[in-house]
Amino acid sequence: MKCPKCETENTPDSQFCKKCAMPLPFSKEMPAPQTETLRTPIKELTTGSTFAGRYQVIEELGKGGMGRVYKVFDTKIKEKVALKLIKPEIASDEETIERFSNELRLARKIGHRNVCRMFDMGETEGAHFITMEYVHGEDLKSMIRMAAGLSIGAVLSIGKQVCDGLAEAHSLGVIHRDLKPQNIMIDRGGNAKIMDFGIARSLREKGITAPSVLIGTPEYMSPEQAEAKEVDHRSDIYTLGIILYEMATGRVPFEGDTALSIAMKHKGENPKNPKQFNPNIPDDLSAVILKCLEKDKAERYQAVSGVRSELEKIEKGIPTTERVAPDRKPLTSREITVKFNLKKLLIPGLVVTALVIAAVIIIGRVAPRKETPPAESPGHSIAVLPFEDLSPKKEYRYLCDGIAETLINTLTGIKDLWVPARASSFSFEGKNPGIREIGRQLGVDNLLEASVQVVGNRLRITPKIIHVNDGAQIWSGQYDRQMEDVFAIQDEIAREIVKALKIKLLGEKESPLAKRYTENREAYELYLQGRYLWNKRGKANLEKAAAFFEESVRKDPNYALGYGGLADSYYVMGNNGFLSTAEALSKAKTAALKALELDPYLAEALACLGSLKTNWEWDFPGAEKDFKRAIELKPGYATAHQWYAFLLARLGRFEEMIAEISRASELDPLSTRIRANVGYMYYYTRRYDRAIAELEKAREMDPNHSWTYQYLGYACVETGLFARAKESFLRYQELEYGDAFEDEDIAYLYARMGRKKEARQLLAKLKSEGKPQQRPISPTMMAAAYGVLGEKDEAFAWLEKAYQGRDLALGYLKVRPTFDSLRSDQRFSQLLKRIRLEK
């Protein structure tokens, strides 16, 4: 007779289990049930069996404190997943199961490539189980043990990825509290995944885990954990420091014979400099690790994005050959992650593979990978660099840029050819980083360079294609034409490039590549001058651009591109507050509709029209239709993807929003404007660490891009980095207007800091005196500041002004964190309905 509790075999006449003294079935103390058969709790699964009518068991992967882990095939979703079967003695505790269920719900919020995705918790036949992602790989602890420490390149690569995963969790208010190398998987491509957010707790949801409960692993506990105090995201940062320490040295900073002795060292003993154990560690890396390990959490990095930023800087300073880049898979990949047992690799044919993979990751000799989209095949990628103006006075800069941009637009439409967008290709203007560095940053194998010389009415263009890797010139040409032949020259150059790159144009061989929107050379040159200024942005440039576009359509009233440029100019001026909403909407819409009347397939005009409907008409279905059509006509138009992302942001469709802004960034990887907007999109999703990290990238790309600083200020306010927020707001104003002053953004900041008196004084001053340089006051930010101060009537009065003036920021009412203080008021919901964000 088998004991139902411990499964020990007993003689048939036994009344009690000889091992655990449990009353046995059919004994006098425990009579046999009359209506159901007593089921033995499931403790393990058999290979080849089907569990819960859905999961086909492939093999056991390992076991731990909670139970056994299996690789299974989920017949419902047709994927391999990991299944953790919880021990019966744990599963029998209803309070424990409830806690796991609650925390699983929190963990499921986290969707990131560096976090193991939790799927579901189920129960069948009295057994509780959890399903999660699965991947072939090895846990970080095993890797460290095997190599007694990793290469500096591997430390930095894995460290950055762990930072990214933690940043995503922290942005959702979830902390890990048991981070350790055993809970970090490294797959065969070198990608890190954080596992077991099973005991994590949301900072926004109290009562799931009781306070004063010691949770964690002694070697990786923060001082506050060791004292069983409340912890926040900075506890994870301390543990991250331990993991960096261990990766770099092969040992943890504190060891002891008992858990208590280790905990006491975390609380009162300073760690030794990791350079004592590994002299090859850069000084900067030692400093980062030791700052993470500060006893006082206020002295540590206050956000994991700060750690990540420092690791990235250090990585740039080490030799290229020592850097390690993970083999990234597409974001849509459904690859699954669990722990991988090294013993399973001891099969003929797999041993060599495993050792090679381990060596690549540990030694860190993987060649650096491009962060920009790679060419689909060798030779099928090219970047068109700004053409060089050889005229003595450089008066044909607009013509050089215009011809280059026309070629970019033309080549972008060719299947199987990767061509970075204008902002990225032109970002090297005035710099000389070398062809290999340009190729690496743009993710291309070839560069098109050219010089332009204008003498009287004669035009000479001398283009050449250079192979990035060896600097070889694989094609060159020279075109001497009359200025009237500029259109034919563009078409000839495009065809020669295609021929040089050996790409077949599938039935398009005889048709022109570059569409001719006008035969009027003057109209075309005026258009090019307008686009040149439009791309530079700024109030004065945009006004001059609009004047050039106006003149171009006067020269040729049927010039669709001229009207499209005019629409873009008025839209951006209204968007930046240089024109009133009513004037910008009227002029931009008239021009966009005229452009589409002349050419219904003009993607630029469709995208502009979609933005007008989004920002000021609140016609969100109509806007989405325009954006989708624009992208269908011109998939490589980064601006259309970017503007569509802003529509999706307003609607709270964050997953689609991130996909669109990411696509824009892929198409134009070195565009500071797009990179800043990537950060701003993450701000809307409340992933503030990620937002700050992206905005820091934008700041590094161009320290003088003003909007980066305003967006950074908003993100810093939400993370409590108030001093940095103020510095960012003031820097934004200095760059945008020439001097810094305290405005409604600063008033909102003061209100959030609790400096209510100063906030009220500044708001009163803005109401009575306005702002310098005739810059209009943002009614939405005034409302946000008053909302934090608790003056809701005043806040809603300002929101009404925003509504009447069609203030651009009002469209983000549904998602922007600055309005959180007003969401509980019934007037807020009514306003959402008035601007069509809710039904």
Tokens 């095949």 belong to 377
| Separation of alpha carbons 272 and 593, rounded Å | 69
Instruction: Quote the tokens at residue 1.
Output: 């007779």
| Separation of alpha carbons 219 and 242, rounded Å | 8
Which residues, 6+ apart, have CB-to-CB distance to 756 below 8 Å? 750, 789
- DSSP letters along 566-622, please? HHHHHHHHHHTTSS-HHHHHHHHHHHHHHHHHH-TT-HHHHHHHHHHIIIII--HHH
| Separation of alpha carbons 193 and 133, rounded Å | 10
Alpha helices in 770-808 (DSSP H): 779-788, 792-804
Is residue 417 within 8 A of residue 382, CB to CB? The reply is: yes
Is residue 637 within 8 A of residue 602, CB to CB? The reply is: no
Helix, coil or strand: residue 486: helix
Alpha helices in 303-396 (DSSP H): 304-316, 351-363
| Separation of alpha carbons 730 and 740, rounded Å | 5
Is residue 227 within 8 A of residue 125, CB to CB? The reply is: no
Could you say which of 178, 626, 743, 807 is catalytic? 178
CA 394 to chain centre: 40
- DSSP letters along 148-208, please? TS--HHHHHHHHHHHHHHHHHHHHTTEE-S---GGGEEEETTS-EEE--GGG-EETTS-SS
Is residue 588 within 8 A of residue 613, CB to CB? The reply is: no
Is residue 219 within 8 A of residue 180, CB to CB? The reply is: yes
Q: What is the 8-class DSSP label of residue 53?
A: T
Sign, CA dihedral 540-545-548-550, equals negative
756: phi then psi, degrees, rounded to nearest 5: -65, -35
| Residues found in the chain | 839
Long-range contacts of 123-127, Cβ-Cβ distance < 8 Å, separation of 24 or more: 124/51, 124/52, 124/53, 125/39, 125/42, 126/39, 126/41, 126/42, 126/88, 126/91, 127/41, 127/42, 127/85, 127/86, 127/88, 127/91
| Separation of alpha carbons 465 and 486, rounded Å | 20
Is residue 447 within 8 A of residue 466, CB to CB? The reply is: yes
Tokens 């990238």 belong to 697
* Burial (CB count <10 Å: 0-12, 13-18, 19+), residue 551: middle
For strands 446-455 and 388-389, give the pairing. Answer: parallel
Helix, coil or strand: residue 630: helix
409: phi then psi, degrees, rounded to nearest 5: -60, -40
Helix, coil or strand: residue 111: coil
| H-helix or E-strand spanning residue 460 | strand 458-467
Phi/psi region, residue 53 (left: phi>0; alpha: psi -120 to 50; beta: rest), is left
| Separation of alpha carbons 793 and 260, rounded Å | 56
Tell me whether residue 284 is one of the annotated catalytic residues.
no
For strands 67-74 and 446-455, give the pairing. Answer: unpaired
Catalytic residues: 178
